[in-house]
Structure 1
Amino acid sequence: MGAFNLTPSDSSTFILMGIAGLEAVHVWISIPFLMSYIVTLLGNLILLFVVGKEQTLHKPMYMMLCMLALTDIVTPSLVIPKALCIFWFNWKDITISGCLTQMFFLHTLSFLQSAILVAMAFDRYIAICDPLRYATILSNSRIATLGLVGLIRSGLLMLPLPLLLSRLPFCSSRIIPHTHCEHMAIAKLACGDISVNRTYSMVAAFAVSGIDLILIALSYGRIIRAVFRMSSTEAHQKALSTCTSHVCVMMTSYMPGLFTSMSNQFGKTIAPHIHIILSNLYLLVPPMLNPIIYGVKTKEIRDKLGKYTCRR
């Protein structure tokens, strides 16, 4: 580790170590990272292309899918290129401003994705419980407004994090044992008291996730009640099938994120490289699976994609 100690001239940089403890196999670890990133980009770009190309898919539900696809492209793009540079070329330096910027956008996009999932749950609720008013309640412009509100909410909630970090004095060792800049990974390098940072990050994360999960649970509670009141078995199955893909995406998005957050805050006995791997899986797996889930489960997208494939 002595070779990576920073000199006074390096006072404006941090050093990202990659997956600490597994440096010897970084090249092998880069293979699943790269493959997952390629699949993520291809899957989400194809989804955006199909929805953008087909006029019949220019509806609120598919607009929200495009919002989710954009977050799924940008989120790993903030991390994976730098991680691959660490794995392949040993380029570990990152400026403090670059580190704080990466951290801010990563956490902002995580909260934005949660807001999009809430909007998607509300969309399914209106579509099943109040279908006659769907077009008047949810229009494309209203969905765009909801997306903008979600982005502003996420940005405002995350803005204090870089400000709180910038006031801390950092010790001589600025080595971050991670592939990217996380709030607590940076805060733990500080020589001062980080209790405010720790408290704010926990409160913000649990408040947003808690409120969003409650809203999603309320929407699906109403949906389930409405479905069981349907007399037709066919309508029963159709209503449930429209929600299946959204439920799968919620599970892939929330469960790894909550587990990662809990392990970072309370899992002191877990090996550091396990923390780092879990954090990277949270950034890699949901964006890779989301377009696959919607491509398989959503008939309209599946049919349109099949049309383009057959045409080729």
Structure 2
Amino acid sequence: MFEYVGALHMHSTFSDGSGTVKEIAGFADEVGLDYIILTDHNTLRALTEGYEGWYGNTMLLVGCEINDRNNSNHYLALGIDETISTRVPAKEYVKKVKDSGGIGFLAHPHEKRNSMKEHPPYPWTEWDTDDFTGIEIWNHMSEWMEGLTEQNKYNYFMHPLRSIVGPPKETLEKWDELNLKRKVVGIGGIDAHAHKVNLLGFFEVEVFPYKVLFKSVRTHVLTDTKITKGKNGKNFENAKKAIYNALGSGRCFVSNFYHGDAKGFRFFAEKNKKIYKMGDYIESGGKTHLRVILPNISGTIDLIRNGEK
């Protein structure tokens, strides 16, 4: 298996972000990410205008973040070629993404932020559908804003990585519940906009600079074949397919780089002399050995089954 480390869920000047596509890709390359996926709101302009491709050693892919007419039920749609109307119910655009051959993830499904009236929460409410690929189990911006208070806001603005602890308990429980019925993939998102705000009336701060957030929540993918960089268009399409196949099948895991580099982590099962990787199905019954490989970092391993450790 080949491992590639990337970041998902970010916005450029094509929607409500402050950075251009080239600037964002440049920051990702500086940090050393293998891939990033841009998800501007309800637009694929970065795709149609030819921005997908290699930027140094970083591959930039383009999806979009769809919402309904009430600006709720945000959905990360990847691997699609045409935008989908926001005038249709969430169930419809989720199905359209699937029918078009794309994959999709519920964005910040249990968001509860209330620290800024101008930035209300956007939770997922339309759970009566099975057409989504997975859910964003960890969203950097959502967790940061949910912990923001009048007392700590200056510290939060100056140190955006320290306050991020882990995925919401409610989201992890829902993810576990959904996986009792079918495979539901979990990904992490940074939700980067790099907004600039004014503190104390004269001090401008860039909240969540792209380069900083690229060092936080990451999604690692595992592929069967090595991704080959090159000017050959076929090479890029094969690399793109490999990334999306890994995300779509669940051959991925989420980490927070701020606490250490998780590259090299593996979790797999062995049964009847056969190895089952992350995202694989395995029949119940019989003796199964679970294996965990940790990189050179210390930590605690918690195994959760049916909502219980």
TM-score tier (shorter): under 0.3
| TM-score, length of structure 1 as denominator length | 0.26
Higher relative contact order at CA 8 Å, sep ≥6: structure 1 or structure 2?
A: 1
Q: Which has the higher strand share?
A: 2
Instruction: Provide TM-score, normalisation by structure 2.
Output: 0.26
More helix by share: 1
